[in-house]
Amino acid sequence: MPKKTNFKIVLVAPEIPGNTGSIGRTCVALNIPLILIKPYGFDLSEKAVRRAGLDYWKFLDLTEYDCIDQFMASEKPAKEQLCFFSKNAEKTYFEANFVQNSFLIFGSETKGLPSELFGSYPERFLSVPMLSDKVRSLNLSNVATAVAYETYRQLSL
């Protein structure tokens, strides 16, 4: 039986199906549960997933929530388990000490995470470094994959 990881990826209001599909592939590859929080910018029906060629989707450990409040009430994460990602965070994910059962939380591609989360958890926000001012943002699936592998590395040592 494949080893289960001890953290989860959370996407809040994802808009681009290709990004969610790529993140889902990373989750299957590393046995990471994926949590999706509505609304989505795409159809997640079985027919749509099949048409998109996501043949690995059936192997994904997927949980869906209607809103961030439902996620928090159901999962009941401790503050130290929450890791929010934003390009505006001062601390990078290289400086993070991920803990067991962390939730790696990413916002939508165009809006990011709700501002009230930053107001409630400012010290739990992390960024992925961008050294050039020529790039406005990084692709969500690339960021989620980079962070997932760093979390896996830290928690597997």
Angle, vertex CA 26, rays to CA 28 and CA 78, nearest 5? 85
Question: Can you give the residue ranges of every domain in the chain?
Answer: 7-156
Structural domain 7-156, CATH architecture: 3-Layer(aba) Sandwich (3.40)
Check: CB of residue 61 under 8 Å from CB of residue 29. Answer: no
The residue-averaged pLDDT of 58-81 equals 97
Q: What is the pLDDT of residues 5-45, one digit of tens each?
A: 799 999 999 999 989 999 999 999 999 999 999 999 888 87
Average model confidence (pLDDT) across the chain: 92
Q: Cα–Cα distance between 146 and 151 in angstroms, integer?
A: 9
Ranges assigned E (strand) in 2-150: 7-12, 34-37, 62-65, 82-85, 102-106, 125-126
Q: What is the pLDDT of residues 45-65, one digit of tens each?
A: 777 776 666 788 899 999 999
Q: What local confidence, expressed as pLDDT, does residue 5 receive?
A: 76
Q: What is the pLDDT of residues 102-144, one digit of tens each?
A: 999 999 999 999 999 999 999 999 999 999 999 888 999 999 9
CA atoms within 13 A on the CB side of 63: 16
Q: What local confidence, expressed as pLDDT, does residue 42 receive?
A: 85
What are 34's two structure tokens? 């994926």
| % of the chain exceeding 70 in pLDDT | 94
Helix (H) / strand (E) containing 141: helix 140-156
